[in-house]
Amino acid sequence: MNESSHLPPSCDSALLASILALAPLSVIGWDSSNRIVIWNAEAERMLGWVASDVLGKSAPFPMVEMADGDRPREITRSTRVGGIAQLSVQLQHISHDAASAAIVEIGTDLGDRKRLERQVVQGVKLDAVSRLAGGIAHDFNNILAAIKCSCELLSESLEPDDARTVDVRAISDASARAAELTRRLLAFTRQQVLLPHTVDLNAVARDAESMLIGITGDGVALTLDLTSEQIHVRADSTQIEQALIHLVVNSRESTPAGGRITLSTGMGPLERDPTGGEVPIIAASYGWLTVGDTGRGIPRELHGRIFEPFFTTKERGTGTGLGLSAVFGIVKQSGGYIFVQSEVGRGASFTIYLPLVAAPAKPPRVVHYERTSSGSTPTILLVEDETTLRGLMRRILERSGYTVLEAAHGAQALEKCELHEGAIDLVVSDIEMPTMGGREMAQRMRMLRPNSQLLFVSGFTDDEAMRQGIVSTGSAYLQKPFAPALLVAKIAEMLKAPVGKLELPAL
């Protein structure tokens, strides 16, 4: 495409100017002296220089050289403001005559395509990490649940002055710390069960203030700068508070004594990435919550990595690299965004944006269940694929006075329902199981046992519909690992509920 083209002498210059102005491609031309003779509006948009800055002058950047058999090629070019434009360009020689010969470069802006490619690659990478981390967290939570239940059962069998109670307590404390790590993993992978409701971000910040002051200590001042208006968003207030804790801990660790951490709120429209980055935004009105500090700051080259799991700038052995990734997961699962703005030596600000809601939602409806075996020992169907944990849970429930039926997965549970002649008051079930999971089992069980209640216990679920179904029923979920006392209390609460219409999770 390097053959010369000729413009007809009768071509109207105004028409040609209009075509160049409306062209969705950059058009740049230069003569044999390398002076710019053509510079259209799209070239101005892509590169920043207006026509009056460049026409008749040498180009402010290296020009692409003409080649035989010239074909489109991808290049990068500096812009007026110091940025980098990514282009696909092709050259052509044009002339009216020898005196007016010029080389014209036609350019396509590749910026949007390249950004989309990077987002896809990043999304695939994070999805792979999420699946790996979620699977590990699920299996690990089953192990921790068994350890936690075993510790409590062992502790109950020991006398208070038995020296072994110290060892049991140490094991229990270690399992609690491990459980916190898995919770952070689940937060990042967005596989937690959240209980969203309408909350005021200012109220969340005020409620967390005393706890946050305990984190910052005496050496770093904590200041609240909250808007006077209520900021209503739909979120799980406990998880937003947890995100605040992670952010303040992160700020405290980077802020020297005498520094300051500020927690501020506000609301307004958000249409694009406020940092000038490439994050696609759903334009709407958002409430925001910022944790800013006067610490050492974060190098710009690390901004794109700080939310990755296990990434940390701390010394080896002093950080897990899961705090900020957990915040990222909580915010994304809540339908929001989080951005960081920081420079070395100038502190850092992390801002959470959550969509505003028009008014507080109605209070959660109370779910009532119908007891079918009043006056007799309640029967519980326990569905859990982890053999060790299922055995421990059975011991706990039988010690609490319940009759327990066991199943290793959903299909076996349905078989038990068909064969058991008496009532089944409550089904305690894991969600992720081989052969048949909790979702399908619950749907079929509704037909077999319409009066049986359902309590899900799980380390996570990767089924969004299941998560939403659990949320809609209020209190039909227990997070693994759990203390035996909490399991017993939850079951007692459900079985003592007033008689009313049965409502299983809306799957």
Tell me: the pLDDT tens digits for 47-89? 999 988 899 898 888 888 877 657 888 888 988 888 888 898 9
Options 3.20.20.80, 3.40.50.1820, 3.40.50.2300, 3.40.47.10; CATH of 379-495: 3.40.50.2300
Which of residues 310 and 60 earns the better pLDDT score?
60
Write the Ramachandran bin of 317: left for phi over 0, alpha for psi from -120 to 50, otherwise beta.
left
pLDDT at 475: 42
Which of residues 159 and 355 earns the better pLDDT score?
355
Confidence band, pLDDT 50/70/90 cuts, at residue 231: very high
pLDDT at 433: 85
The pTM (predicted TM-score) of the whole model is: 0.52
Q: Where in the chain is the domain with CATH 3.40.50.2300?
A: 379-495
pLDDT at 196: 78
Among 18-22, 50-54, 298-302, 444-448, the minimum mean pLDDT is found in 18-22
Q: Which architecture, in CATH terms, is 13-109?
A: 2-Layer Sandwich (3.30)
DSSP secondary structure letters along 337-394: EEEEEE-TTS-EEEEEEEEB-SSPPPPPPPP----SSTTS--EEEEE-S-HHHHHHHH
Confidence band, pLDDT 50/70/90 cuts, at residue 499: very low
Which amino acid, one-letter code, is at 478? L
Q: Which architecture, in CATH terms, is 197-355?
A: 2-Layer Sandwich (3.30)
Q: Which tokens belong to 438?
A: 């909790």
Confidence band, pLDDT 50/70/90 cuts, at residue 415: very high
pLDDT greater than 80 at residue 464: no
Label residues 3-28 b or e (16+ Cβ within 10 Å = b). Answer: eeeeeeeeeeeeeeeeebeeeebbbb
Which of residues 125 and 177 earns the better pLDDT score?
177
pLDDT greater than 90 at residue 148: no
pLDDT (average), residues 190-217 = 82
| Range list of H helices, 158-236 | 164-189, 201-216
pLDDT at 129: 66
pLDDT greater than 60 at residue 38: yes
pLDDT at 120: 72
Which of residues 295 and 470 earns the better pLDDT score?
295
Confidence band, pLDDT 50/70/90 cuts, at residue 133: low
pLDDT at 351: 95
pLDDT at 481: 79
Q: Which architecture, in CATH terms, is 115-189?
A: Orthogonal Bundle (1.10)
Write the Ramachandran bin of 506: left for phi over 0, alpha for psi from -120 to 50, otherwise beta.
beta
Q: Which of 487, 491, 492 is nearest to 389 (CA)?
A: 487
Which amino acid, one-letter code, is at 50? V
Strand ranges for 71-169 from DSSP E? 73-78, 84-94, 102-109
pLDDT, averaged across the chain? 79
Q: Where in the chain is the domain with CATH 3.30.565.10?
A: 197-355
pLDDT greater than 70 at residue 306: yes
Confidence band, pLDDT 50/70/90 cuts, at residue 371: very low
Confidence band, pLDDT 50/70/90 cuts, at residue 260: very high
Q: Where in the chain is the domain with CATH 3.30.450.20?
A: 13-109
Beta bridge partners of 235: 197
CB neighbourhood size of 171 (10 A): 16
Q: What percentage of the chain reaches a pLDDT higher than 70?
A: 77
pLDDT (average), residues 3-14 = 50
Cα 49 vs. chain centroid, distance in angstroms?
A: 39
